[in-house]
Chain A
Amino acid sequence: MSDIAQTSPATDERVKDISPLRKALIRPELGGIVGTIAVFTFFLLFAFDSGMFNAQGVINWSVVSAQFVIIAVGACLLMIAGEFDLSVGSMIGFAGMLIAIFGVTLGWPIWLAIIITFVICVAIGGLSGWIVIRTGLPSFIVTLAFLFILRGFTIFLPQIIERKTIIGGIKDAAEGDWLASAFGGKVFGGLFQWMGDAGLIATFTRGTRAGQPVVDGVPMLIIWALVLMALAHILLTKTKFGNWIFASGGDAEAARNSGVPVNKVKILMFMLTAFCATVFAVCQVMEFGSAGADRGLLKEFEAIIAVVIGGALLTGGYGSVIGAALGALIFGVVQQGLFFAGVESSLFRVFLGVILLGAVILNTYIRRIITGER
């Protein structure tokens, strides 16, 4: 055997030297990185004085971006595992409505309402995954059905229970609740007070809150977004389960033949997506103090667009959580930035369409280099 296998030369004469810069650039997130730089450059140039980059402004677009990040993280791992969830938006509305019904109409403690809502929504996510696996139908169709089913219930339930489409009063019910503050609260208040005192950020000069900083802490929503993003990134790139996610989306049959429990992986990813949608819903309900039947409309598409801007392949098996988070950041910054810049909001869509197209073209080019797709 040893005489057949020749000793190998240390370097391969059939590989061209690639410059370190090029090597560093060739990564799935490149489209997202370039898009982020482009968007920030644009707004720094054209909207710097608009208040977009003072403390209040930064928190403003960070919160919106964080909302996108939360749902994009779930959509990203699910898409890499080779499936879609079109029911994310309806799930957001449905989860919010459940919390309102449990916490306000039924008067349960909010922590209990939140936990039961999580259990129900994650179970529904698991159910749609199970149907996809069992029937072999495209997840596109199955979750489209759930889009209608969940939205229907979200409109129907409050009407028969409370005879209206919005249930309010959640702020009062959640007052002092330990779990509610994990979604609706703020952290690092002391830090911001100190920054206000030190003159680093603006403080109120009049009224009952005089002397307090204009930003009184980081909303938990942002913390959730960062934590979910970090955990999903580690799960995907650094663990055995992450390898299973890639394999399940790359070629389910090949993965199965190699011993990857593809069905389990896919169903768990559907449950994760539902979990993320529920986190979004709880944060939103705590912020607004109410649940509405029209909450979360079109969020599934925004999540999918963020994921695709971030370099994921629509057909599965390839993508990056960091990229998806950058896609979400682009989304949030553009949406809020045009508002700050005083631009007609319909231009948001034009801008978004251009970014989407540019990022996806760049991503496709990069992916071909990395994977040798033809």
Chain B
Amino acid sequence: MSEQSPIIQMQNIQKHFGSVIALAGVSVDIFPGECHCLLGDNGAGKSTFIKTMSGVHKPTHGEILFEGQPMYFADPRDAISAGIATVHQHLAMIPLMSVSRNFFMGNEPQKSLGPLKLFDHDYANRVTMEEMRKMGINLRGPDQAVGTLSGGERQTVAIARAVHFGAKVLILDEPTSALGVRQTANVLATIDKVRKQGIAVVFITHNVRHALAVGDRFTVLNRGKTLGTAKRGEITPEELQDLMAGGQELVKLESSLGGTV
């Protein structure tokens, strides 16, 4: 992996929201074929960081290199065209629209009818059902509105969509937070599968076991700064867990909870 060149280089990224400094200079390299886990406390800046990667936010300072070239994403559409697909923490789903319309939102398949280019609903419906079945969810129908799905089902649609469109980079912001055991296993297996296809995966989670199950490298954010990146095998689960909690207090807490955290 080290002989490969990184697909995305985030260099000293800062992001300010008014007076709030959400990111205070974070540098991370993402390699093709690796699962890069992004860990950290609530409010550490993980979501903000991946949003600068997916074109939602423009960094206040710092530079993003994509495949070695300076990259400037005007909006998420640019990032998606470049092959970066994201599952946002808030999913980016429209509850009033059907599953298949959501699945292809922004990437609608088209078919030609004479001079007209029409939305290929048949193709969209077929692919949606197929991809959802692969993730272990049986939809009642592709025309079901997303608003009628359960939280975990919605999350699965968002993941299946990103896997389908993430040609080079797949960013998952807490994708398993609402999932059942079987669906979580499916998502972890999917991460493993796409990584083996050479796609870079950025995986945000609060669950150390999930991170250790699929992660190749682990970057811990704390209050807008990075505490460094560790390779798999260089770090024990206990060390990782302490880092994720900002390195404090958890030891005390853990003893009172009988080591169950």
- A12 close to chain B: CB less than 8 A: yes
Interfacial residues of chain A within 246-263, with CB under 8 A of chain B in the complex: 246-247, 250-251, 253-261
Contact, CB under 8 Å: A242 / B119 = yes
Given A250-B95, A257-B88, A260-B105, CB of A373 within 8 Å of CB of B147: yes
* A-B CB pair tally, cutoff 8 Å: 116
A262 to chain B: closest residue by CB: B75
Which of A9, A15, A242, A259 interacts with B76 by CB under 8 Å? A259
- A45 close to chain B: CB less than 8 A: no
Which of A256, A258, A372 interacts with B148 by CB under 8 Å? A372
- B135 close to chain A: CB less than 8 A: yes
Interfacial residues of chain B within 132-148, with CB under 8 A of chain A in the complex: 133-136, 138, 140, 145, 147-148
Interfacial residues of chain B within 15-37, with CB under 8 A of chain A in the complex: none
The A interface, classified by DSSP as helix, strand, loop or mixed, is loop
Measured in the bound complex, the distance between the Cα atoms of B133 and A5 in whole Å is: 7
How close is A259's CB to chain B, nearest CB, in angstroms? 3
Cβ proximity bits B80-120 to A, threshold 8 Å, 1 near / 0 not: 11000010101111111100010011111010000011110
Measured in the bound complex, the distance between the Cα atoms of B159 and A209 in whole Å is: 71
Given A5-B133, A371-B147, CB of A247 within 8 Å of CB of B94: yes
Which of B81, B94, B106, B149 interacts with A317 by CB under 8 Å? B94
* A15 / chain B contacts, CB cutoff of 8 Å: 140
Measured in the bound complex, the distance between the Cα atoms of B138 and A290 in whole Å is: 62
Contact, CB under 8 Å: B118 / A239 = yes
Contact, CB under 8 Å: B104 / A370 = no
The number of chain B residues with a CB under 8 A from chain A is 45
Contact, CB under 8 Å: B182 / A243 = no
- A163 close to chain B: CB less than 8 A: no
Cβ proximity bits A3-29 to B, threshold 8 Å, 1 near / 0 not: 011101100101100000000000000
The number of chain A residues with a CB under 8 A from chain B is 36
B107 to chain A: closest residue by CB: A259
* B101 / chain A contacts, CB cutoff of 8 Å: 243, 246-247
* A239 / chain B contacts, CB cutoff of 8 Å: 116-119
Contact, CB under 8 Å: B110 / A258 = no
* B116 / chain A contacts, CB cutoff of 8 Å: 234, 239
- A331 close to chain B: CB less than 8 A: no
Given A239-B119, A260-B106, A372-B147, CB of A250 within 8 Å of CB of B138: no
* B75 / chain A contacts, CB cutoff of 8 Å: 256, 259, 261
- B185 close to chain A: CB less than 8 A: yes
- B60 close to chain A: CB less than 8 A: no
Contact, CB under 8 Å: B104 / A243 = yes
How close is A24's CB to chain B, nearest CB, in angstroms? 14
* A256 / chain B contacts, CB cutoff of 8 Å: 56, 75-76
How close is A136's CB to chain B, nearest CB, in angstroms? 15
A240 to chain B: closest residue by CB: B108
- A313 close to chain B: CB less than 8 A: yes
A3 to chain B: closest residue by CB: B189
What are some 26 contacts across the A-B interface (CB < 8 A)? A1-B189, A4-B136, A4-B182, A4-B189, A8-B138, A234-B116, A239-B117, A239-B118, A246-B94, A246-B101, A247-B94, A251-B95, A253-B92, A256-B56, A257-B76, A258-B80, A259-B76, A259-B80, A260-B106, A317-B96, A370-B145, A372-B145, A372-B148, A372-B149, A373-B95, A373-B147
Which residues of A pack against B, CB within 8 Å?
Answer: 1, 4-6, 8-9, 12, 14-15, 234, 238-240, 242-244, 246-247, 250-251, 253-261, 313, 317-318, 370-373
